[in-house]
Amino acid sequence: MVLNADSAISSTWAALGLVWLGGLAFTKRTVRSQPVGARLFHLVLVLLGFALLGSRWFDGGWLSQQIVPVTGAVKSLGVAGTMAGCAFAIWARLTLGSNWSGRATVKANHELITTGPYAVARHPIYTGILLGALGTSLATGEWRCVLGMLLLALAFLVKMSQEERLMIQTFPVDYPAYRKRVKALVPGVF
């Protein structure tokens, strides 16, 4: 059975969600975390971003209008981007292991992970999710997806600033050296 593009994209995002839910039970105890206000702001942006990216609530009106015509090749490229991005985010999530949290935190016995996808980007989960969002935007070609992707990028920039601050406090020698070696999201660029 061959999945159509929309089913492939939905299944890919669902797989990412299942990995996140399954991993919740295996995280270390939190020692320090970001302020509640920053967490709520981040959550609202992420939820709205994913709602725009993946729901049909925004059918009708300018949000569902096509930006450019979506050809078969563009749709295939979008599906591949979604799958590659989500796979990269899952790899990063599994590599982070019990140090992971849905909010910016420092865990008990926190380790600085710099291998695997963390040797490519300091925030590879966000890199993967944004690549997946770009892929979904290409495959769909609608304004709602582009807006959703931009909201996710903003949410991740907010959360990254909190995470960077916590990591510098926790690893005052190692983290600045790691920052010099590895870019935040896009290898060699940013």
pLDDT tens digits for range 6-17? 899 999 999 999
Tokens of 97: 């292991």
Q: What is d(CA 155, CA 161) in angstroms, rounded to the nearest whole number?
A: 10
| 96-147 pLDDT tens trace | 999 999 889 999 999 999 999 999 999 999 999 999 999 999 999 999 999 9
Class for domain 35-181, per CATH? mainly alpha
- Paired strand residues for 66: 142
Q: Say if residues 75 and 145 touch (Cβ distance below 8 Å).
A: no
Pairing type for strands 105-107 and 30-33 reads: antiparallel
CA gap 3, 7 in Å, rounded: 6
pLDDT score of 5 more than 70:
yes
Q: How far apart are CA 80 and CA 9, in angstroms?
A: 9
Lowest-confidence segment of 1-5, 25-29, 33-37, 44-48 by average pLDDT: 1-5
